[in-house]
Homo-oligomer: A and B are copies of this chain.
């Protein structure tokens, strides 16, 4: 299992196939919108200057929209994950 540190989360990207009006599937480089993912693990939260830990708003299982290009890709036990900071998550879907 991957346990992220601080205000980081681990998520799986959700591939969203994209088809144009004429039925052409767009290659990755032609898509410019943020991506969707599912949270698989969350960190314990960042520590403020008062020494208090702030729990994350997100929890395991949340579907989220995140900034493309954010985070670091990690391959773990044959699967691809993305590790980001909670601040790179734009919104929860649900």
Contact = CB atoms under 8 A, between A and B. Distances in A.
A1 interface: yes
B49 A76 contact: no
A91 B85 CA distance: 11
A25 interface: no
A66 to B, nearest CB: 10
A38 interface: no
Given A34-B72, A44-B57, A67-B72, A90 B50 contact: no
Interface residues of A, number: 37
A41 B65 CA distance: 14
A53 B53 CA distance: 13
Given A2-B65, A57-B5, A58-B5, A91 B10 contact: yes
Interface of A: 1-6, 8, 10, 33-34, 41, 44, 47-52, 54, 57-58, 65, 67, 72-76, 83, 86-87, 89-94
